[in-house]
C-alpha cells in the first residue's frame, strides 16, 4: 500500500521516547539509603516525544523520527503518537531492542530526579532520519535534544539548514561539551540553568543573562534559558534580552516542564518566528505542565495556554 499523503509538517522532532516509571517521595534518598515512596505511575515520556506532543497540542503539524524496541511499551508509544495526530512515517521498531525507560522520583515540592536507560533510542541512525527526509525538508522548525545519537542530530540539522528551516537544540540531558560542527548548525539553543552552566563553563550561580551571552557567541540566532518558577529569558545579538515571568500556579510535578517549553516555543516559532511570542507560549505551557502529575497528561492545548495568558493579563490589570 502506498504511504498516506500528509500535509507538510511545520515542526520536525528527533523524538526520544521513554517509558516513564515514577514514584513520589517525601525527599530524595541519600546514597545508600532506601526510602518508602508513595504511588507508582507508569506513563509516556522521553524529551523528544514530550516536545513533539506539546507542539502538536499547540496546533502545529508535527512529524517525528524515533526508534523503539519491539515490545509492549513501543506499541503503546505508536498508539499515543497516532492519537496525537503526529506524522509517524519516520518511526522504526528494532527487533531485539528494548524501548527506552526513565526512572523518575518526584518530591513533595514537585522537583524531580531522573535517570534514563535509553535502549532503542541509541540505535537511531542517519538512515532513519533520511526515511523521514521529506517531512524534515518541509518543516519550518527542526527540534533535537540529547537523548538520541549526536550523529543523527547533526545530520538532521544539516538537512534542515539546507532546506532553510530553523534548528532548535534543547541541550538536555546536560552535556559538558558539544562538537563544533553541531554548534555551527544550531540556530536556537534552549537550556535550563544547569545545562547552561555546564555548556558555558560558567559557575552555576552565574547570572543567566551572562551565561546566555557566552552561549550566544556559538549559535546562529538566539539562546533561551528556562528559569523554573522565574519564567525564561531570551537573548539575541543586537537586541536587549527579553524576560518572561511565569504565571503563579500550584506546582504538583515539574517533570516535563522544560519539554513543554520547547514544544510550545517551536510551534510558536513555526507560526511567526517572533521571539517574544515564542517565549510567552513556552513559559505558559511550561507552567501548565507542572499542575498535574506525569508529563503527557499535563501538556496543555492551545486553548488552555490562551486561557492562562488571559487570566494572567487580567490579574496584572489595575
Ligand atoms: O524531561 C522529562 C523527560 O525526561 C521524562 O519524560 C523522561 O522520560 C526523560 O526523558
Whole-number Å distance, alpha carbon 96 to ligand 1 midpoint, is: 23
Name which of 67, 79, 85, 80 is nearest 11 in CA terms: 85
Residue 136 lies in a domain: yes
Q: Which three cell numbers stand for residue 228?
A: 523554573
Return the CATH number at 135.
Answer: 3.40.1190.20
User: Containing domain of residue 161, as a range?
Assistant: 11-28+36-311
Q: Which three cell numbers stand for residue 259?
A: 519539554
Domain total for the chain? 1
User: Are 264 and 77 contacting, i.e. CB atoms less than 8 angstroms apart?
Assistant: no
- Helix and strand totals (H; E) in the chain: 11, 13
pLDDT band of 175, cuts 50, 70, 90: confident
Name which of 286, 310, 145, 173 is nearest 229 in CA terms: 286
Whole-number Å distance, alpha carbon 255 to ligand 1 midpoint, is: 7
Residue 219 lies in a domain: yes
Q: Which atom of ligand 1 is nearest to 112's Cα?
A: 2
Inform me whether the pLDDT recorded for 238 exceeds 80.
yes
Strands 62-69 and 40-45: unpaired
Over residues 44-78, the pLDDT tens digits come to 999 999 999 999 999 999 999 999 999 999 999 99
Whole-number Å distance, alpha carbon 3 to ligand 1 midpoint, is: 31
**How far is it, in rounded angstroms, from Cα 196 to Cα 39?**
33
Whole-number Å distance, alpha carbon 247 to ligand 1 midpoint, is: 23
Residue 261 lies in a domain: yes
pLDDT band of 316, cuts 50, 70, 90: low
**How far is it, in rounded angstroms, from Cα 72 to Cα 91?**
15
Residue 51 lies in a domain: yes
CA distances from 39 to 105, 179, 281, 292 (A): 11, 41, 32, 14
Tell me the residue ranges of DSSP E strands in the chain.
Answer: 11-14, 18-24, 40-45, 62-69, 87-94, 101-106, 112-117, 141-144, 166-170, 188-192, 222-226, 232-236, 242-244
Residue 316 lies in a domain: no
**How far is it, in rounded angstroms, from Cα 97 to Cα 119?**
7
- Give residues (CB < 6 A) around ligand 1: 18, 20, 45-47, 50, 102, 114, 116, 147, 255-256, 258-259, 295
Mutate to test the pocket of ligand 1, among 144, 171, 191, 256 (most ligand atoms within 8 A of CB): 256
Q: Which atom of ligand 1 is nearest to 43's Cα?
A: 6
Over residues 2-13, the pLDDT tens digits come to 655 556 679 999
Residue 5 lies in a domain: no
pTM to 2 decimal places: 0.95
Paired with 142 in beta bridges are 12, 167
Helix (H) or strand (E) holding 55: helix 47-57
Query: In the block, which residue shows the cell 504538583?
Result: 252
Residue 285 lies in a domain: yes
Residue nearest to atom 10 of ligand 1 (CA): 46
pLDDT band of 239, cuts 50, 70, 90: very high
Inform me whether the pLDDT recorded for 257 exceeds 70.
yes
Mutate to test the pocket of ligand 1, among 14, 41, 102 (most ligand atoms within 8 A of CB): 102
Residue 318 lies in a domain: no
Active-site residue list: 259
Name which of 252, 260, 248, 249 is nearest 293 in CA terms: 252
Whole-number Å distance, alpha carbon 256 to ligand 1 midpoint, is: 6
Strands 11-14 and 62-69: parallel
Amino acid at each position: 500500500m502506498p504511504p498516506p499523503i500528509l500535509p507538510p509538517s511545520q515542526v520536525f522532532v528527533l523524538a526520544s521516547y521513554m517509558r516513564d516509571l515514577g514514584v513520589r517521595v517525601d525527599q530524595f534518598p541519600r546514597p545508600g539509603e532506601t526510602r518508602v515512596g508513595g504511588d507508582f505511575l507508569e506513563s509516556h515520556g522521553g524529551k523528544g516525544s514530550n516536545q513533539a506532543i506539546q507542539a502538536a497540542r499547540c496546533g502545529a503539524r508535527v512529524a517525528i523520527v524515533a526508534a523503539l524496541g519491539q515490545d509492549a511499551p513501543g506499541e503503546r508509544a505508536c498508539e499515543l503518537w497516532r492519537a496525537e495526530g503526529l506524522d509517524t512515517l519516520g518511526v522504526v521498531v528494532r527487533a531485539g531492542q528494548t524501548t527506552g525507560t526513565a526512572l523518575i522520583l518526584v518530591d513533595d515540592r514537585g522537583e524531580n530526579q531522573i535517570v534514563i536507560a535509553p535502549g532503542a533510542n541509541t540505535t537511531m541512525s542517519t538512515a532513519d532520519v533520511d526515511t523521514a527526509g521529506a517531512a524534515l525538508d518541509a518543516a519550518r522548525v527542526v527540534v533535537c535534544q540529547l537523548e538520541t545519537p549526536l550523529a543523527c542530530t547533526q545530520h538532521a540539522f544539516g538537512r534542515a539548514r539546507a532546506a532553510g528551516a530553523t534548528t532548535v537544540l534543547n541541550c538536555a540531558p546536560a552535556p559538558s561539551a558539544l562538537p563544533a560542527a553541531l554548534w555551527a548548525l544550531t540556530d536556537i539553543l534552549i537550556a535550563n540553568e544547569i545545562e547552561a552552566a555546564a555548556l558555558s563553563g560558567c559557575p552555576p550561580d552565574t547570572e543567566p543573562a551572562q551565561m546566555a551571552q557566552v552561549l550566544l557567541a556559538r549559535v546562529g540566532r538566539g539562546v533561551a534559558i528556562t528559569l523554573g518558577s522565574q519564567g525564561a529569558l531570551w537573548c539575541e545579538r543586537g537586541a536587549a534580552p527579553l524576560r518572561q515571568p511565569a504565571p503563579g500556579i500550584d506546582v504538583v510535578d515539574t517533570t516535563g516542564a522544560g519539554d513543554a517549553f520547547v514544544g510550545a516555543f517551536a510551534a510558536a516559532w513555526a507560526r511567526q518566528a517572533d521571539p517574544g511570542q515564542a517565549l510567552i507560549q513556552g513559559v505558559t505551557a511550561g507552567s501548565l505542565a507542572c499542575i498535574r502529575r506525569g508529563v503527557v497528561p499535563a501538556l496543555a492545548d492551545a486553548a488552555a495556554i490562551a486561557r492562562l495568558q488571559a487570566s494572567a493579563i487580567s490579574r496584572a490589570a489595575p
